[in-house]
Chain A
Amino acid sequence: MSKTLVWVEHDNASVKDATLAVVTAALQIGEVTALVAGSGCDAAAAAAAQIAGVSKVIKADDAAYANALAENVAPLVAGLMADYDVFVAPATTTGKNIAPRVAALLDVMQVSDILSVEGPKTFTRPIYAGNAIATVESGDAKLVVTVRGTAFGKAEATGGSAAVEAVGAHADSGMSTFIGSEIAKSERPELTSAKIIVSGGRALKDADTFQSVITPLADKLGAGIGASRAAVDAGYVPNDYQVGQTGKIVAPQVYIAVGISGAIQHLAGMKDSKTIIAINKDEDAPIFQVADIGLVGDLFTLVPELTGKL
């Protein structure tokens, strides 16, 4: 059986949701060891040890790993891979930043964004913005894989009791320094785990209008808020709201697209939603080709009316 090393995404205190889907995928490949690299990450390591299915936790606790800088973390992972067959990371911005660097250090071709595990070295993955699904088999001795979270169920966060083993750190590379971050704190559900998402497009005019039309509806539904690239580019909302081929991939119970035309790059990020609802004044907008429920008309009257009637 293959031995997998899973990258745990965490904030030193707790394990992020993205990790749980990765554990599910890794369990389909083989035995799971979870790697918690961080600074002061005892609590995260303890949380990882409880994830159902995790056999062992490796904790690498060092200031050098505080911000998951790829230059520091990749050599750690590549070194540990001497004892493992497959490195599995989430296809989050952290995973996408680190995993290819690990793959190159190991001289293997990464399999990006897998949707399913078809065999020990065979996976499906989306190409061309999800307009085609490729089944690929790796010929490399070791594998590096990133996992699309929405394609796998979440492992139970509790129930396991893996042992935690500490490993020593590599030195800081000295090549890169973390300066800071601008992370918006929000009470809203995170896009990738929200049950309902209300997304706005270019039609929302400006930041204030976006806020005054979309937010009340999202509040009523307890929904996360997303956006098209056009809405982000125009500065209505921050970059982390973008849903699509090159933004976030979401698959909520209900996705409500408001004033979004439905370009293939946007559909790539949301067409696995259970129910898609579209509000658009153009009855021929491509979004209606994927929407389960469409409402044609002016969003500036329809959305406030909808909010009022919920």
Chain B
Amino acid sequence: MKALVCVKRVIDYNVKPRVKADGTGVDLANVKMSMNPFDEIAVEEAIRLKEKGVVTEIVAVSVGPQKAQETLRTALAMGADRAILVLCETEVEPLAVAKIVKAIADEEQPGLIITGKQAIDDDANQVGQMVAALLGRPQGTFANEIAIEGDSVVVKREIDGGLETVKLALPAIVTADLRLNEPRYASLPNIMKAKSKPLASKTPEDYGVDVAPRLKTLKVTEPPVRSAGIKVPDVDTLVAKLKEMGVA
């Protein structure tokens, strides 16, 4: 079974994003960029399934600028077999990404598609569910654990009240949550090897997908700032404060 994993190049999660003074967006010039953390988990899961002999080939897909090649090389260094970059220098919305992934899935016929649950830049949490809808296939979102059982995948999902388990007929789409696994670091020899793994370059037009945005961003602003308050010297003062607030 082939696995398709989706990886997005985003601001590194350790960087505090700054809103541009002109209110048009977040300043990404000279900012460290990395693979979306949830996508590292998605790649790791595909690799583990390959190590178990369930998955035979892992194809990593990214929609993004030329630099997203680096993200795909990281996926290849972790253990993906080949990569497809769908070049688009402007930001692509989840719906258009989903249409591109759907078109690639039509060509590649993967048994399993794994995406992250959410990209930490747009915080949309949409692509996986949209791919599932467009393909008319089942979805296991916010996966905490997955197991392939014959022609199904059993997905334990992280939900608001706890955990839920669903069984999905393959092919299926799974979106990775934080506790699905702990992604590995690519070793130096694997980083070297990744340089010679195949990376195809495509465009949205190759897949007949119109990436024109549906949403117009009118402005981007700083959230209201919280100013730091006071430090209290001891527990008694804290208790007094809590009493003032009427909570104790």
Contact = CB atoms under 8 A, between A and B. Distances in A.
B228 A290 contact: yes
A175 B215 contact: no
B231 A179 contact: no
Interface in A254-310: 254, 264-265, 271, 275-277, 283, 288-296, 302, 305-306, 309-310
B150 interface: no
A92 B164 CA distance: 14
A19 B158 CA distance: 20
A13 interface: no
A132 B213 CA distance: 20
Given A137-B215, A221-B248, A289-B228, A132 B235 contact: no
Nearest to A126: B123
A307 B120 CA distance: 37
Nearest to A308: B235
A128 B11 contact: yes
Q: Which of B38, B129, B132 has the most CB of A within 10 A?
A: B129
Interface stretch (A26-34, A47-55, A107-115): A107-115
A39 interface: no
Interface string A224-236: 0000010011000
Interface string B4-17: 00000001010011
B55 interface: no
Contacts of B117: 246
Given A104-B133, A128-B26, A136-B215, A306 B241 contact: no
Contacts of A103: 95, 126, 130, 133
Contacts of B235: 295, 302, 305-306, 309
A180 B226 contact: no
A101 B129 contact: yes
A177 interface: yes
Contact of A104 (B130, B162, B230, B239): B130
A233 B169 CA distance: 29
A294 B231 contact: yes
Contact of B129 (A104, A132, A245): A104
Nearest to B182: A233
B165 A180 contact: yes
Q: Which of B142, B232, B238 has the most CB of A within 10 A?
A: B238
Interface stretch (B45-53, B192-200, B217-225): B217-225
Q: Which of B17, B124, B168 has the most CB of A within 10 A?
A: B124
Given A110-B126, A271-B226, A101 B216 contact: no
Contact of B178 (A74, A94, A229): A229
Contacts of A180: 164-165
Interface in B197-211: none
A160 interface: no
Q: Which of A109, A253, A254, A295 has the most CB of B within 10 A?
A: A109
Q: Which of A126, A195, A306 has the most CB of B within 10 A?
A: A306
Contacts of B78: none
A295 B237 CA distance: 10
A129 B123 contact: yes
A113 B119 CA distance: 14
B138 interface: yes
Nearest to A123: B215
A177 B167 contact: yes
B215 A128 contact: no
A239 B162 contact: yes
B236 interface: yes
Contacts of B157: 93
Contacts of A296: 231
A182 B163 contact: yes
Interface string B130-169: 1111100111011010000000001001111111111111
B120 A128 contact: yes
Interface in A172-225: 173-184, 192, 195-196, 220-221
A173 B85 CA distance: 33
A97 interface: yes
B22 interface: no
Contact of A105 (B133, B162, B215, B217): B133
Given A127-B123, A221-B247, A305-B235, 19 more contacts: A70-B129, A71-B138, A96-B125, A107-B95, A109-B95, A113-B123, A122-B218, A127-B121, A128-B17, A136-B215, A181-B164, A196-B247, A233-B178, A240-B160, A240-B162, A289-B226, A290-B228, A293-B231, A295-B232
14 contacts: A92-B160, A108-B95, A108-B214, A132-B222, A134-B219, A136-B216, A136-B218, A138-B214, A138-B215, A176-B139, A181-B165, A182-B163, A184-B161, A238-B163
Interface of B: 11, 13, 16-17, 19, 25-26, 38, 93-95, 98, 117-118, 120-134, 137-139, 141-142, 144, 154, 157-169, 172, 177-179, 213-223, 226, 228-232, 234-236, 238-239, 241-242, 245, 247-248
List the 8 closest A-B pairs by CB distance, nearest first: A292-B229, A104-B133, A100-B129, A109-B214, A104-B130, A100-B126, A179-B165, A128-B17
